A and B are shown apart, each in its own frame.
Chain A
Amino acid sequence: MSDTVTFKIKRQNTAESSPYWENFVIPYIPNSNVISCLMDIRTKPENSKGEKVAPVVWDSNCLEEVCGSCTMVINGKVHQACSALIDKLEKPITLEPMSKFPVIRDLIVDRSRMFEALKKVQAWVTADGYHDLGPGDRESQSIQEVAYKLSECMTCGCCVEACPQYTQKNNFLGAAAISQARLFNMHHTGKNITDQRLDTLMQEGGISDCGNAQNCVEVCPKSIPLTESIAEIGRQVSGKIWRNIFKA
Chain B
Amino acid sequence: MSKQRVIVVGGGLAGLAAAMKIAELGMSVLLVSFQPVKRSHSVCAQGGINGAVNIKGEGDSPDIHFYDTVKGGDFLANQPLCKDMCHHAPYIINLMDRLGVTFNRTPEGNLDFRRFGGTLYHRTAFAGATTGQQLLYALDEQVRHFEVQGIVEKMEWHEYLGAVLNNDGRCVGAVIHNLRTGEIMALKGDAVILATGGPGLVYGRSTNSMVCTGTATTSAYLQGAKYGNGEFIQIHPSAIPGRDKLRLMSESARGEGGRIWVPRKAGDSRSPKDIPEKERFYFLEERYPLYGNLVPRDVGAREIYDICVNEGLGVKGEMKVYLDLTHHTPEFLNRRLGGILEIYEKFTGVDPRVEPMEIFPAVHYSMGGIWTDYTPTSDGLIDYQSPNNQMTSITGLYAAGEADYQYHGGNRLGANSLLSCIYTGLMMSPGVINYVKNLPEAAEDHPQKVFDDASRQWQERFSDINKMNGSENPYSLHRELAEQMITNVLIVRQNSKLEATLDKINEFESRWKNITCLDTTDWSNPVPSFINQLWNMIQLSKVITKGALMRDEFRGSHYKPEFDLKQPDDFQPETYLEFEKQKADGNLNESAFDQQHLAYMKRFAENNEKWLKTTIAEYKNGTSGSEGGPEISYEDVDTSLISPRPRKYN
Contacts and interface: CB of A to CB of B under 8 A. Distances in A.
Interface of A: 13-15, 29, 31-33, 35-36, 39, 42-45, 54-55, 57, 59-69, 82-83, 85, 104-105, 108, 111-112, 115, 118-119, 122-127, 129-130, 132-136, 138-141, 144-145, 147-148, 151-152, 154-155, 184, 187, 189-190
A67 B211 CA distance: 12
B227 interface: no
27 contacts: A13-B521, A14-B523, A15-B523, A33-B243, A39-B244, A43-B475, A43-B479, A57-B525, A61-B210, A62-B43, A67-B43, A83-B347, A122-B145, A125-B99, A125-B141, A126-B145, A130-B21, A133-B95, A133-B98, A138-B108, A138-B109, A144-B104, A148-B102, A148-B128, A152-B133, A154-B43, A155-B36
Contact of B39 (A54, A57, A68, A145): A68
Given A61-B40, A64-B44, A64-B347, 15 more contacts: A14-B523, A14-B524, A39-B475, A43-B473, A54-B525, A57-B526, A62-B41, A111-B36, A126-B145, A130-B20, A135-B94, A136-B98, A144-B102, A148-B102, A148-B127
B137 interface: yes
Contacts of B98: 125, 127, 133, 135-136, 189
B527 interface: yes
Contacts of A65: 343, 346
Contacts of A54: 518-519, 521, 525, 527
Given A54-B518, A105-B524, A124-B142, A63 B209 contact: yes
Nearest to B104: A144
A123 B130 contact: no
Max chain A Cβ within 10 angstroms of own Cβ: one of B111, B243, B248: B243
A33 to B, nearest CB: 6
Interface in B397-452: 426
Interface string B22-49: 0010000000000110111101100000
Contacts of A105: 523-525
Interface of A is mostly: loop
A145 B40 CA distance: 24
A140 B36 contact: no
A19 B526 CA distance: 19
B365 to A, nearest CB: 15
Interface residues of B, number: 71
Nearest to B44: A62
A129 B248 CA distance: 34
Contacts of A15: 523
A130 B20 CA distance: 9
B148 interface: yes
A227 B249 CA distance: 31
B432 to A, nearest CB: 15
